[in-house]
């Protein structure tokens, strides 16, 4: 405090008092009388004025510089945004051209690639269907928001296993489902339902219970077929014996997302046969028809054939054909047949075998 | 009369010559401004007290500016530049305030 008091008390330079004392007490002395004193005062004040002005000018100069820099940054942001918009437009335009080229490349009788994309899971599909919710038995420590990785594992029989889920999905396919997604993961021909450690994985993504299986198809019919088939009985057995709850309900409108990361690296599309009417053979694993024979039925033309009892593919006129985003993926046009009806429908999920 | 003239000349010089402040000096400019203000207020108060001395005024002004800049420079070298600038501004600000209070007492007798 003494420091502050000292500053407060001696606010005036002590040189003034000393100079006054040295001069003697001959009255107040305000303005220097001599010309030299006046000049010194003037020079000092000029210096003070110059310092103050330079400081003020400097501060005001720095301001526009900052504003200029900000303006430049804003300009660059706007420029980048503009070019990004332009690129986006270009992408859309190119997609449109790809789509139209696809349309032109296809013979008139063949199926729209967008439909195919929906059928193989590369495009969003919407339509009526069923929603099946499977919940682990209560008390298994794997309720709603428990990390499946930290659960007690499948040793606890109250938990749904990957095999159960495979059976359910196969049952849905065989009951007439045209597109299936588990917890928002769309099943494609490359999908696998498996267990890793203590988690059920779909397409290498761990699922968190409750498991919601959505399937597109004729809702009530699908429910009936599923309930009476083996999978439905199996679910009832699970409920009775292990307390695994399952609720199935027909839905008026479901939207299944597109699958991501379906990339063929080694499989090459087989060349289509020269005959314009015959369908080319299936092209390996990207086709949902990768059945036991490995090839699709060549007998089907432009429409999904009902030759199989069930069709895992969304028919162009089927329930799953409501709203399809056109897929830019070229994979769907690589000489594969428009339909994929033969073979076991349960093979459509690839590894989905108990 | 000559005081006002000197002030005006200084402002005009600062405005129109626009001296390029070297980058090395820029950090000390705010301190110099505060020191200059302190010298002006001290001079005015001394004038009203009747003990003004032009030599004391100009020497105190120059030494204030130089010492304040030196302190801040030293602080910059030691890594406490901003703290020392704050200290200089606080001390000079207190002086300006109490000098302004003394001037107010002289002018308004209150």
CA neighbor of B68 nearest in space, from B45, B42, B92: B92
Chain B CB contacts of A20 under 8 Å are 50-51, 53
B8-17 pLDDT tens trace: 888 888 788 7
Other beta carbons within 10 angstroms of residue A37's beta carbon come to: 17
Say yes or no to pLDDT of A158 above 50: yes
Which residues 46-65 of chain B have a CB within 8 Å of chain A? 46-62, 65
B8 falls within a domain? no
Shortest CA gap B63–chain A (Å): 11
Per-residue pLDDT at B21 exceeds 90: no
CA distance linking residue A9 with residue A11, whole number of Å = 6
Q: What is the pLDDT of residue A286?
A: 42
In the prediction, which pLDDT does A84 show?
92
Six-digit token pair at A270? 């087989």
Gap between the Cα atoms of B15 and A342, Å rounded: 91
ipTM of this complex > 0.85? no
Most confident of A22-31, A255-264, B82-91: B82-91
Q: Which residue has the tokens 């749904």?
A: A160
Residue A142 has pLDDT above 90, yes or no: no
Q: Is the pLDDT of residue A324 over 80?
A: no
Instruction: Quote the CA–CA distance of A313 and A117 in Å, as a whole number.
Output: 10
Q: How many CA atoms lie within 13 A of A240 on its CB side?
A: 6
Domain contains B5? no
Give, in order, the Cα–Cα distances in Å from A221 to each of A168, A217, A298, A348: 16, 8, 29, 20
A45 and B CB contact within 8 Å: yes
Most A CBs within 10 Å: which of B19, B24, B52, as the mutation test of the A interface?
B52
**A85 — pLDDT class (breaks 50, 70, 90):** very high
Quote the mean pLDDT of chain A.
71
Sign for the pseudo-dihedral over CA of B72, B76, B82, B84? negative
Task: List the single residue in B40, B48, B98 with the smallest CB-CB distance to A8.
Answer: B98
Of A40, A47, A54, the CB nearest to B21: A54
Contact A317, A306 (CB under 8 A): no
Is residue B78 included in any domain, yes or no? yes
Question: Is residue B52 situated within a structural domain?
Answer: yes
Tell me the average pLDDT across A343-347: 40
Q: Structural domain tally of chain B?
A: 1
A62 to chain B, any CB pair closer than 8 A? The answer is no
- With beta carbons less than 8 A apart as the criterion, state whether A298 and A279 touch: yes
Confidence band for B22, pLDDT divided at 50, 70 and 90: confident
Please indicate if any CB of chain B lies within 8 Å of the CB of A28. yes
Contact A54 B14 (CB under 8 A): yes
Of A12, A41, A55, the CB nearest to B54: A41
What is the reported pLDDT for A75? 93
Q: Is the pLDDT of residue A337 over 70?
A: no
* Domain of B104, in residue numbers: 23-108
Residue A311: predicted pLDDT: 41
Asked whether residue B93 is domain-assigned, the answer is: yes
Residues of B in contact with A30 (CB under 8 A): 47-48, 50, 52
Could you tell me if residue B91 is inside a domain?
yes
- Whether pLDDT at A145 is above 70: no
Residue B13 lies in a domain: no
Burial category of B30 from C-beta neighbours within 10 Å (exposed 0-12, middle 13-18, buried 19 and up): middle
Stretch among A62-66, A222-226, B50-54 having the lowest mean pLDDT: A62-66
A-chain residues within 8 Å CB-CB of B15?
Answer: 53, 57
Please determine, for residue A172, whether its predicted confidence score (pLDDT) is greater than 80: yes
- The helix/strand/coil state of B108 is helix
> Which of A19, A41, A51 lies at the smallest CB-CB distance from B6?
A41
Q: Which of A264, A254, A260, A293 is nearest to A172 (CA)?
A: A254
Mean pLDDT of chain B: 84
Residue contact A12–B40, C-beta within 8 A:
no
Question: Per-residue pLDDT for A335 more than 80?
Answer: no
The reported pLDDT for the residue numbered A37 is 76
Q: How far is B74 from chain A (nearest CA, A)?
A: 21
B93 near A CB under 8 A: no
Q: Which residue from A30, A41, A49 is facing B14, i.e. has the nearest CB?
A: A49
Tens digits of per-residue pLDDT, A16-40? Answer: 888 777 776 555 666 666 777 778 8
Q: Do B61 and A58 touch (CB under 8 A)?
A: no
Shortest Cα distance, chain B CAs vs residue A73, angstroms: 24
Contact A7 B29 (CB under 8 A): no
Where are the alpha helices (H) located in chain B, listed in sequence order? 2-17, 29-49, 54-78, 81-108
| Beta carbons of A51 and B65 less than 8 Å apart | yes
B43 is a domain residue = yes
Judge whether residue A352 has pLDDT over 50.
no
The pLDDT of residue A296 is 39
Of A195, A182, A185, nearest to A153 by C-alpha is A195
């Amino acid at each position: 405090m003494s420091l502050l008091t000292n500053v407060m008390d001696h606010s005036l330079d002590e040189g003034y008092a000393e100079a006054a004392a040295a001069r003697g007490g001959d009255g107040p002395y305000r303005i220097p009388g001599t010309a030299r004193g006046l000049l010194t005062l003037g020079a000092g004040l000029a210096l003070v004025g110059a310092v103050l002005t330079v400081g003020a000018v400097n501060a005001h100069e720095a301001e526009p510089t900052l504003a200029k820099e900000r303006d430049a940054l804003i300009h660059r942001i706007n420029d980048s945004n503009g070019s990004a918009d332009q690129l986006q437009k270009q992408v859309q335009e190119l997609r449109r051209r790809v789509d139209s080229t696809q349309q032109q490349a296809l013979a008139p009788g063949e199926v729209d690639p967008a439909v195919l994309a929906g059928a193989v899971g590369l495009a969003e599909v919407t339509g009526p269907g069923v929603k099946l919710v499977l919940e682990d038995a209560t008390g298994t420590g794997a309720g709603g928001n428990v990390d499946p990785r930290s659960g007690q594992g499948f040793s606890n029989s109250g938990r749904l296993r990957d095999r159960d889920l495979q059976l359910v999905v196969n049952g849905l396919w065989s009951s007439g489902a045209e597109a299936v997604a588990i917890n928002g993961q769309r099943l494609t021909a490359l999908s696998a339902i498996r267990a890793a450690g203590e988690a059920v994985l779909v397409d290498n993504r761990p699922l968190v219970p409750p498991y919601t299986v959505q399937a597109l198809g004729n809702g009530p019919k699908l429910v009936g077929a599923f309930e009476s088939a083996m999978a439905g009985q199996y679910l009832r057995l699970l409920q009775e014996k292990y307390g695994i709850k399952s609720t199935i309900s027909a839905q008026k409108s479901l939207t299944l997302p597109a699958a991501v990361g379906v990339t063929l690296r080694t499989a090459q599309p087989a060349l289509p046969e020269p005959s314009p009417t015959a369908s080319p053979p299936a092209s390996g694993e990207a086709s949902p028809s990768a059945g036991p024979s490995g090839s699709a039925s060549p007998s089907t033309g432009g429409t999904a054939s009902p030759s199989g009892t069930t069709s895992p593919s969304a028919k162009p006129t089927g329930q799953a054909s409501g709203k399809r985003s056109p897929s830019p993926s070229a994979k769907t046009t690589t000489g594969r047949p428009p339909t994929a009806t033969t073979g076991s429908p349960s093979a459509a999920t690839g590894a989905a075998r108990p | 009369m000559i005081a006002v003239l000197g002030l005006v000349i200084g402002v005009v010089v600062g405005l129109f010559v626009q001296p390029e402040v070297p980058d090395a000096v820029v950090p000390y400019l705010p301190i110099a401004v505060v020191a200059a203000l302190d010298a002006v207020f001290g001079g005015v108060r001394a004038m009203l007290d009747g003990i003004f001395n032009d030599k004391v005024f100009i020497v105190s002004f120059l030494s204030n500016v130089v010492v304040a800049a030196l302190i801040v420079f030293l602080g910059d070298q030691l890594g406490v530049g901003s703290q020392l600038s704050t200290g200089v501004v606080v001390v000079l600000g207190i002086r300006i305030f109490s000098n302004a209070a003394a001037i107010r007492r002289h002018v308004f007798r209150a």
